[in-house]
Amino acid sequence: MLQIMIVGLLLSIDSSVSVNPPAPYGPIPSPRQMRWHQLEFYGFLHFGINTFTDKEWGYGDDDPGLFNPTAFDANQIAQVARQAGMRGLILTAKHHDGFCLWPSRYTEYSVKNSPWRGGKGDVVRELADACHRHGLLFGVYLSPWDRNHPEYGRPEYISYYRNQLVELLTGYGEIFIVWFDGANGGDGFYGGARQTRRIDRLTYYDWPNTWKIVRDLMPMAVMFSDVGPDVRWVGNEAGMAGEPCWSTLTAQGAPGSTTADLNHGDRHGTQWLPPECDVSIRPGWFYHPSQDGQVKTPRQLFEIYLSSVGRGACLNLNVPPDRTGRIHPNDQRSLLEFRKILDQTFKRNIAAEARLYASQIRGGQRLFGPENLFDSDISTYWCTDDNVTSAQIILDFDQPVTFDILEIREYVLLGQRIDAFAADAWIAEDWKTLATGTSIGNRRLLRFAPTTTKRFRLRIISAAACPVVTELGLYASPYVDDR
Ligand code: FUL
């Protein structure tokens, strides 16, 4: 009896060991990165003196009196962003020209010397408040390069830059991202000197100490730059993450000077440093009336979504307010139609309607079973035993179903584990491969020709550690019928 009890005890200890969750593999996201991943889609607002001078890069000598939106409406901007499904907005509080959209204590080159709101206005305040009212997060872009400031290139400017950062991080409520641009062109007004000033990108800004200000004042904010420290640039301004696109990288260099492969990441990188895809809805970053007819179409935006969010990145879509200080009707129209495409595509997960078969389930436990793949809950997952690094899921449907998009999400809190996968449909008595890939990460979307079948198979071909998959989806985009 005693022996049986002891055996029973040992057995139960054994099985509890086998159902532990897998250990993490490689670098994993911090809580602030994890929150950022879930945002997926947010907006960029390039707005400032350039809006009124028709320029992309002001030299730093434009008269502040030129800044005069005729009907600035932060509510309209936030409302459009919200309706488009954005989760936040990032404002160019100061672009390279140095003109500040808030009445900074440290310069006269700001809204306080413009006619707008009689010099009493604060664009940062109005937008931050509107975002918070409309349930959007608010972030800031503060250009390190400043073509107006007399001390640019000297140590004094670094104190000025940091003082401004503190103003933005202490005066406007929660900031979810601080966007550090790597561009440093050289020539500028510089208080009248009109010179070319070159700086050493690696040392001039003393980035570690600048980043520390953000960490201290806004611990949950992520910082974006070519090299993070939280979110990396994707290496282009077209909204295209690489294929593959790993969320890991070993950051080298500084914003504006890195040799790392930002577009693809590095499978063996030592940091979790996922990419953000920044792209404008128009050819330029700032508003130009001549580009009113060149707003990206809803379909183009959908393609961008697939190659950014669909490759484990976040999409930062620039929608530049026009000279009235509102989102132009053409941009608004395109955004709302784009939203409709997304809603229509993702409203029904066809995969959730199937009978399921998994080649292996960790410890044979329901806790780790494939049902977790369809619960829209990214805290539950399907995973296998530690020694099982290839596996498959088969979906059987009662009736033929038609789809053109596959979604796979890894449970990235345990790292990016999968190295290769393939998806097949059972067609004419045989498996036909629809898509293959390597990196998955937070969210992978793959589009293929519309496929009608009663049987679908996902093969995890290889993984560095047992695969941990949180969601699996099959969807029909509205374009399923027009090809
Ligand atoms: C670049 C800048 O030079 C552009 O003007 C724009 O702000 C873009 C988002 O980043 O580096």
Residue found under tokens 């950062």: 165
| Residue range of the domain that includes 238 | 40-346
Q: Quick one: which atom of ligand 1 is closest to the CA of 46?
A: 7
Residue linked to tokens 């055996």: 7
Averaged over successive runs of 10 residues, the pLDDT of the chain (483 residues) comes to 34 52 98 98 98 98 98 98 98 98 98 98 98 98 98 97 98 98 91 96 94 98 96 97 98 88 97 98 98 98 98 98 98 98 98 97 97 95 98 98 98 98 97 98 97 98 98 95 62
Residue 197 maps to which CATH number?
3.20.20.80
**Burial class for 5, CB neighbours closer than 10 Å (0-12, 13-18, 19+):** exposed
In a domain, 29, yes or no: no
183 in contact with ligand 1, CB cutoff 6 A = yes
Spacing of C-alpha 40 from chain mean position: 5
Last residue of a domain, one of 294, 319, 346: 346
Q: Compute, in angstroms, the gap from residue 143 CA to the centroid of ligand 1.
A: 9
Query: Is 181 a pocket residue for ligand 1 (Cβ < 6 Å)?
Result: yes
Measured by CA distance, the residue closest to atom 4 of ligand 1 is 285
Q: How far is the CA of 183 from the centre of ligand 1 (A)?
A: 7
Between the alpha carbon of residue 431 and those of residues 391, 444, 449, 451, the distances in Å are 16, 22, 15, 12
Minimal-distance CA residue to ligand 1 atom 10: 181
pLDDT at 482: 65
pLDDT, position 18: 57
Q: Which of 471, 30, 421 is nearest to 247 (CA)?
A: 30
pTM summary value: 0.95
> 3-state class of 398 per DSSP?
strand
The residues facing 279 across adjacent strands are: 238, 317
Q: Does residue 405 sit in the same domain as residue 320?
A: no
Ligand 1 centre and the CA of 225: distance in Å? 11
Burial class (CB in 10 A: 0-12, 13-18, 19+), 480: middle
In a domain, 126, yes or no: yes
Is the same domain home to 371 and 238? no
Is any atom of ligand 1 closer than 6 Å to the C-beta of 278?
A: yes
Return the amino acid letter for 91. Answer: L
Q: Closest Cα to atom 2, ligand 1: which residue?
A: 183
pLDDT score, position 185: 74
Centre of ligand 1 from the C-alpha of residue 427, in Å: 48
Whether residues 196 and 132 share a domain: the answer is yes
Phi then psi for 258, rounded to 5 degrees?
-145, 150
Of 314, 346, 378, the residue at which a domain comes to its end is: 346
> CA-to-CA distance for 369 and 380, rounded, in angstroms?
9
Buried b (16+ CB within 10 A) or exposed e, 257-292: ebebebbbbbeebebbbbbbbbbbbbebbbbbeebe
Judge if the beta carbon of residue 97 lies within 6 A of ligand 1: no
CATH number of the domain encompassing residue 437:
2.60.120.260
Q: Which of 470, 334, 309 is nearest to 405 (CA)?
A: 309
- What is the distance in A from the centroid of ligand 1 to the CA of 47? 12
Report the pLDDT value the prediction gives residue 184, as an integer from 0 to 100: 85
Q: Two tokens at 112?
A: 């306080």
Question: Which of 346, 377, 400 is the last residue before a domain boundary?
Answer: 346
Q: Is residue 338 domain-shared with residue 420, that is, in the same domain?
A: no
For ligand 1, mutation pick of 237, 281, 288 (most atoms within 8 Å of CB):
237
Please state, in angstroms and rounded to a whole number, the distance separating the CA atoms of residues 114 and 391: 63
